[in-house]
């Protein structure tokens, strides 16, 4: 099938049976790939009410038609599942080189189903596919396991692995690849751990056929030229996403001490410029990327190295924990990576716990003796360790995520569990930034920024404005941006370098043979958006508006310090944003897609 | 004229490998590229590039005369005349002389097409005399 | 009389503040922030200021001959 790997690989871990089916062309036509394939299989094959950590849940890994091709940033695969953290839809986009190798191995989607009685790893080498005993690897760090498997099989083999976090079913456990890339959020690593799959070893040597070779090469070269000629390429490459750290601090978007403020007095110690000077040694890129955002760093104090930290980790484990020390943040990043837990959720959970500690809601008895104060680096390292191993009272509490932890501890701590739908909010403080607040409220995995980043837009239109244009912008971004997760390539060349997105269209047509406009692609995006919404509704009794509400911190507690001191959104505005959002999306007043909307999108026979 | 590489600028993205295989074989397959990058991870955390320096040792070693000079003045493999004897492979000082019989029916090497230079976002590659 | 001047090169959409031109001569001797305000560029939307390719704070005072680049993060993360 032109542009595709060609097959769906099913691995039943209960029976050990492995089957390969040709990818149906209609699937490529209607759902295109990546996140599209993920939502299709999730809806079709995971039964309603499935335990996310049980054998009925599936982990669906999909490449897309751009993956592995001559396309800038062609290195993304999508990991879809029912989230153990939120109980709803989750997908995580993983960079590196895994997705390209899937295509060369002739695979579009890997579906992990059932559960293995013993630890295994999935070994794929062109046509040779088998489950191998992973008992000797069980318990080891994800980075260590990658090294061991690469040494065993060869550098050409791509590895994705869980650490103890996934093995111990930490609800925000992640999956690691290429020494520093993750399928990060939603607990995809816990699902993999619940199936006792320690790693996937992947190698493929085939080429990917395309319909129009000349057209494909011409379009691909034009995309690379646009990237190389983009203004800002040097700066984006120099700093990666850390380019925004000082600016977020300046505009009150840098989460500080559990999102109590948006500016951090220790900011300069963790700015991108400081990081570049102190620890960065290599600009590291995913497959095909002309603007490598990965910053491979060396922390002399700890005698360790890590890919990172990127902006999110700096925000969530730096300023959000009151830690003004870039080496410490980098080391915490490395611990999370090796132990296999999402840095964003880990930072959110530890920050919540630090605030509880400051307020006396958690004491040293509850923290297993840790002095869990904001700014305490050693306690942070210890906490990360405890979480990954579910060790002690603290580890077990925080491994559940802030929503469950706060519900358990009570005493008003629910009010400062900074989460939406059970997922910890990522690193943009939204005390007074209504478009971005709406983005977090309505993101379809929980409070993540990936779908519709709108900080500058808020500043351009007016931070506190609650106007239909803001809502329209968020909806457009939500229909458009995730299409990169469908196509199997990175959004950052459009997002950061600002290249003309029309340049992608001739490439897509030359590869797949199907002519599509951005209007067509956004229609697919709109359909997928409604499907993920329906999945939430199907899996969560009483799902609706209540689930879209943000943390009360953003409508009750103006920051005392920083750029947004004294500023706060009102609850009334929160509700107004949702009213406008539901109306523009064609959903009812409770936030559920109406039958008219579903019909318009061509979603008819869906079991809700 | 030959290809040059600044390893310290390499980000390991492999766009060069895809562009190369596309030009050499009209296929998207980095394993059929005629240059290489080696990743040294987790430590010391750097990439090393290997490119053809047009030294001509392969041409000298080739018993069938399959390695010739093209109009760019670069050595290339005439696929029709290669008999897969592999005499060229061990003599290449950069280890960028390739024989992988599962992937192609001929040895292959860099022919200085320059497509790798065009896709390298970090300007780690360039052609000069 | 010699007027000290710097060259402003805004990236991307920031060019709209200088009528779509690629670069513009601007008066030196004031802060980058003041220059932005004078041109109608809201300072808060500019994420990175480079003077002669070095990152500088918005309170940096422009010198004669400085080349100033401004980068705004439109798409984000």
Distance from CA of C27 to the nearest CA of A (A): 23
CA–CA separation, C44 vs A458, rounded Å?
11
Q: Is A11 helix (H, G, I), strand (E, B) or coil?
A: strand
Residue A58's nearest CA partner among A113, A129, A123 is A113
Indicate the residue of A311, A494, A498 with minimum beta-carbon distance to C77. Answer: A311
What is the reported pLDDT for B82? Answer: 98
| Topology of domain A231-424, CATH | 1.10.569
Distance of CA A237 to the CA centre of its chain: 21
Q: Is C24 helix (H, G, I), strand (E, B) or coil?
A: strand
Distance of CA A3 to the CA centre of its chain: 25
C56 in a domain, yes or no?
yes
Asked whether the beta carbons of A186 and A80 are under 8 A apart, the reply is no
Could you give the number of structural domains in chain C?
1
C67 in a domain, yes or no?
yes
CATH of the domain at B30: 3.30.70.20
Q: Is C57 helix (H, G, I), strand (E, B) or coil?
A: coil
Distance from CA of A399 to the nearest CA of C (A): 27
Cα dihedral sign for A241, A245, A246, A252? positive
Across the interface, whether the CB atoms of A459 and C45 are under 8 A apart is answered yes
Could you give the number of structural domains in chain B?
1
Check if CATH label 1.10.599.10 holds for domain A434-498+517-600: yes
Q: Which two tokens stand for residue A444?
A: 């379809």
C40 in a domain, yes or no?
yes
CA–CA separation, A216 vs A384, rounded Å?
46
CB atoms within 10 A of CB A206: 17
Say yes or no to pLDDT of A22 above 60: yes
CA distances from A306 to A86, A161, A284, A295, A427 (A): 29, 16, 11, 8, 20
Q: What pLDDT digit, counting tens, does each position of A332-370 carry? A: 999 999 999 999 999 999 999 999 999 999 999 999 999
Indicate the residue of A97, A147, A228 with minimum beta-carbon distance to B42. Answer: A147
C24 in a domain, yes or no?
yes
C77 in a domain, yes or no?
no
Mean pLDDT of chain A: 97
Across the interface, whether the CB atoms of B25 and A207 are under 8 A apart is answered yes
DSSP label of A362: S
What is the reported pLDDT for A605? Answer: 59
CA distances from A299 to A343, A382, A388, B45 (A): 18, 18, 22, 12
Across the interface, whether the CB atoms of B30 and A213 are under 8 A apart is answered no
Distance from CA of A426 to the nearest CA of B (A): 27
Indicate the residue of B15, B21, B27 with minimum beta-carbon distance to A290. Answer: B15
Interior angle at CA A365, CA A364 and CA A369, nearest 5: 50
C42 close contact with A: CB closer than 8 A: yes
Distance from CA of B32 to the nearest CA of A (A): 9
What is the reported pLDDT for A607? Answer: 44
Across the interface, whether the CB atoms of A273 and C55 are under 8 A apart is answered yes
Question: By CA distance, what is C42's nearest residue in A?
Answer: A460
Across the interface, whether the CB atoms of A456 and C48 are under 8 A apart is answered no
Question: By CA distance, what is B19's nearest residue in A?
Answer: A70
Q: Which two tokens stand for residue B91?
A: 């003599």
Over its C-alpha atoms, chain A yields an Rg (Å, rounded) of 22
Across the interface, whether the CB atoms of A289 and B102 are under 8 A apart is answered no
CB atoms within 10 A of CB A565: 14
Over its C-alpha atoms, chain C yields an Rg (Å, rounded) of 12
Strands C67-72 and A181-183, bridge-based pairing: unpaired
Q: Which two tokens stand for residue A344?
A: 């964003």
CB atoms within 10 A of CB A85: 30
Entry pTM = 0.98
Over its C-alpha atoms, chain B yields an Rg (Å, rounded) of 14
Can you point out the beta strands (E) in B2-124? 2-5, 36-40, 46-50, 67-69, 75-77
3-state secondary structure string across A95-131: CCCHHHHHHHCCEEEEEEECCCCCCEEEEEECCEEEE
Residues A494-501: what's their mean pLDDT?
Answer: 94
CATH of the domain at C50: 3.10.20.30
Q: Which two tokens stand for residue A423?
A: 């997922």
Cα dihedral sign for A249, A254, A259, A264? negative
Structural domain of B17: 2-121
CATH for A7-203 (3.90.78.10, 3.30.450.20, 3.60.9.10, 2.40.110.10): 3.60.9.10
Say yes or no to pLDDT of C64 above 70: yes
Residue pairs spanning A and C at CB distance below 8 A: 60
Strands A7-12 and A107-113, bridge-based pairing: parallel
Asked whether the beta carbons of B38 and A111 are under 8 A apart, the reply is no
CA–CA separation, A49 vs A312, rounded Å?
32
Distance of CA A133 to the CA centre of its chain: 29
Q: Which two tokens stand for residue A281?
A: 């040694």
B100 in a domain, yes or no?
yes
CB atoms within 10 A of CB B54: 18
Percent of chain A with pLDDT over 70: 99
Indicate the residue of A205, A233, A298 with minimum beta-carbon distance to B103. Answer: A205
B82 close contact with A: CB closer than 8 A: no
What is the reported pLDDT for C77? Answer: 81
Q: Where are the domains of chain A?
A: 7-203, 231-424, 434-498+517-600
Q: What pLDDT digit, counting tens, does each position of B67-119 carry? A: 999 999 999 999 999 999 999 999 999 999 999 999 999 999 999 999 999 99
A21 close contact with C: CB closer than 8 A: no
Q: Is B46 helix (H, G, I), strand (E, B) or coil?
A: strand
Distance of CA C38 to the CA centre of its chain: 11
pLDDT band at A147 (very low <50, low <70, confident <90, very high): very high
Asked whether the beta carbons of A447 and A419 are under 8 A apart, the reply is yes
Assess whether the previous peptide bond of A500 is cis (omega < 30° from 0).
no
Q: Which two tokens stand for residue B93?
A: 């000082």
Query: What are A's interface residues with B at a Cβ cutoff of 8 A?
Result: 68-70, 72, 75, 97, 100, 104, 143, 147, 155-156, 178-179, 205-208, 210, 213, 217, 220-221, 224-225, 227-228, 233, 237, 281-292, 294, 296, 298, 305
HSE-up of residue A198 (Cα within 13 Å, Cβ side):
26
Residue A6's nearest CA partner among A132, A127, A159, A93 is A127
Q: What pLDDT digit, counting tens, does each position of C17-59 carry? A: 999 999 999 999 999 999 999 999 999 999 999 999 999 999 9
Across the interface, whether the CB atoms of B45 and A237 are under 8 A apart is answered no
Across the interface, whether the CB atoms of B45 and A289 are under 8 A apart is answered no
Q: What pLDDT digit, counting tens, does each position of A301-331 carry? A: 999 999 999 999 999 999 999 999 999 999 9
Residues A80-89: what's their mean pLDDT?
Answer: 98
C39 close contact with A: CB closer than 8 A: no
Contact residues, B window 21-50, toward A, CB-based 8 Å cutoff: 21-22, 25-32, 38-39, 41-47
Touching pair A, B by Cβ (3+ pairs < 8 Å): yes
Residues A181-194: what's their mean pLDDT?
Answer: 98
Strands A197-203 and A120-125, bridge-based pairing: parallel
Distance from CA of A453 to the nearest CA of C (A): 6
Q: What pLDDT digit, counting tens, does each position of A573-582 carry? A: 999 999 999 9
What is the reported pLDDT for C3? Answer: 76
Structural domain of C21: 5-72
Q: Which two tokens stand for residue A94?
A: 């993983």
C73 close contact with A: CB closer than 8 A: yes
Q: Which two tokens stand for residue A249?
A: 């601090």
Across the interface, whether the CB atoms of B13 and A286 are under 8 A apart is answered yes
Strands A181-183 and A128-133, bridge-based pairing: unpaired
């Amino acid at each position: 099938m032109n542009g595709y790997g060609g097959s769906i690989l099913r691995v039943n871990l209960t029976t050990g049976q492995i089957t390969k089916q040709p990818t149906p062309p209609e699937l490529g036509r209607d759902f295109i790939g990546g996140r599209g394939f993920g939502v299709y299989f999730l809806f079709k094959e995971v039964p309603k009410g499935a335990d996310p950590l049980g054998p009925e849940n599936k982990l669906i890994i999909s490449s897309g038609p751009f993956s592995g091709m001559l396309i800038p940033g062609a290195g993304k695969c999508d990991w879809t599942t029912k989230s153990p953290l939120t109980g709803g839809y989750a997908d995580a986009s993983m960079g590196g080189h895994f997705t390209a190798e899937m295509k060369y191995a002739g695979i579009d989607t890997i579906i992990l189903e059932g559960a293995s009685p013993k630890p295994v790893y999935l070994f794929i080498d062109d046509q040779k596919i088998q489950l191998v005993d992973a008992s000797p690897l069980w318990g080891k760090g994800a980075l260590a396991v990658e090294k061991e498997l690469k040494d065993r099989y060869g550098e050409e083999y791509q590895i994705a692995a869980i650490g103890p976090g996934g093995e111990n079913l930490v609800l925000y456990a992640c999956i690691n690849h290429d020494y520093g890339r993750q399928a990060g959020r939603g607990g995809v690593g816990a699902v993999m751990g619940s199936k006792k799959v320690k790693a996937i070893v992947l190698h493929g040597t085939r080429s990917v056929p395309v319909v129009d070779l000349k057209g494909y090469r011409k379009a691909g070269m034009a995309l690379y030229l646009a990237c190389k000629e983009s203004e800002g390429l040097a700066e984006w490459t120099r700093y990666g996403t850390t380019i925004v750290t000082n600016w977020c601090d300046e505009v009150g978007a840098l989460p500080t001490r559990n999102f109590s403020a948006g500016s951090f007095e220790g900011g300069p110690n963790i700015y991108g410029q400081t990081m570049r000077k102190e620890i960065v040694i290599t600009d590291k890129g995913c497959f095909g990327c002309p603007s490598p955002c990965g910053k491979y760093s060396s922390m002399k104090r700890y005698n360790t190295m890590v890919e990172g930290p990127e902006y999110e980790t700096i925000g969530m484990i730096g300023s959000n924990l009151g830690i003004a020390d870039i080496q410490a943040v980098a080391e915490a990043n490395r611990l999370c990576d090796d132990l296999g837990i999402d840095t964003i959720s880990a930072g959110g959970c530890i920050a919540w716990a630090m605030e509880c500690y400051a307020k006396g809601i958690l004491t040293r008895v509850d923290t297993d003796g840790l002095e869990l104060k904001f700014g305490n680096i050693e306690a942070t390292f210890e906490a990360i360790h405890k979480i990954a191993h579910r060790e002690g009272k603290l580890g077990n509490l925080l491994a559940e995520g802030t929503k469950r932890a706060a519900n358990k501890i009570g005493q008003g701590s629910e009010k400062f569990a900074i989460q939406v739908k059970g997922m910890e909010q990522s690193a943009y403080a939204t005390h007074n930034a209504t478009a971005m607040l709406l983005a977090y409220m309505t993101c379809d995995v929980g409070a993540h920024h990936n779908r519709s980043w709108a900080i500058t837009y808020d500043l351009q239109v007016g931070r506190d404005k609650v106007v239909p244009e803001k809502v329209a912008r968020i909806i457009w971004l939500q229909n458009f941006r995730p299409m990169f997760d469908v196509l199997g390539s990175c959004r950052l060349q459009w997002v950061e370098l600002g290249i003309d997105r029309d340049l992608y269209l001739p490439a897509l047509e030359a590869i797949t043979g199907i002519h599509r406009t951005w209007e067509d692609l956004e229609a697919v995006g709109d359909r997928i958006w409604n499907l993920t919404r329906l999945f939430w509704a199907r899996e969560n009794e009483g799902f609706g508006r209540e689930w879209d509400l943000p943390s009360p911190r953003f409508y009750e507690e103006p920051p005392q310090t920083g750029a947004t001191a004294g500023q706060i959104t009102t609850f009334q505005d929160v509700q107004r944003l949702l009213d406008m959002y539901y109306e523009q999306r064609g959903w009812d007043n409770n936030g559920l897609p109406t039958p008219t909307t579903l019909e318009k999108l061509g979603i008819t026979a869906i079991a809700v | 004229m030959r290809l040059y590489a600044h390893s310290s600028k390499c980000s390991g993205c492999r766009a060069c490998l895809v562009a190369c295989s596309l030009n050499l074989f009209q296929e998207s397959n980095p394993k059929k590229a005629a240059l290489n990058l080696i990743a040294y991870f987790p430590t010391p955390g750097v990439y090393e590039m290997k490119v053809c320096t047009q030294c001509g040792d392969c041409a000298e070693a080739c018993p069938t005369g399959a390695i010739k000079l093209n109009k760019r003045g670069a050595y290339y493999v005439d696929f029709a005349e290669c008999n897969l004897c592999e005499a060229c492979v061990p003599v290449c000082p950069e280890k960028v002389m390739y024989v992988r019989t599962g992937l192609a029916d001929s040895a292959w090497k860099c022919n200085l097409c320059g497509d790798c230079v065009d896709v390298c976002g970090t300007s780690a590659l360039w052609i000069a005399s | 009389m010699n007027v000290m001047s710097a060259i402003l090169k805004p990236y991307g959409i920031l060019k709209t503040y200088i009528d779509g031109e690629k670069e513009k001569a601007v008066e030196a001797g004031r802060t980058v922030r003041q220059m932005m305000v004078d041109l109608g560029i809201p300072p808060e939307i500019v994420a990175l200021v480079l003077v002669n390719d070095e990152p500088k704070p918005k309170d940096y005072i422009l010198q004669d001959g400085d080349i100033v680049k401004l980068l705004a993060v439109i798409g984000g993360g």
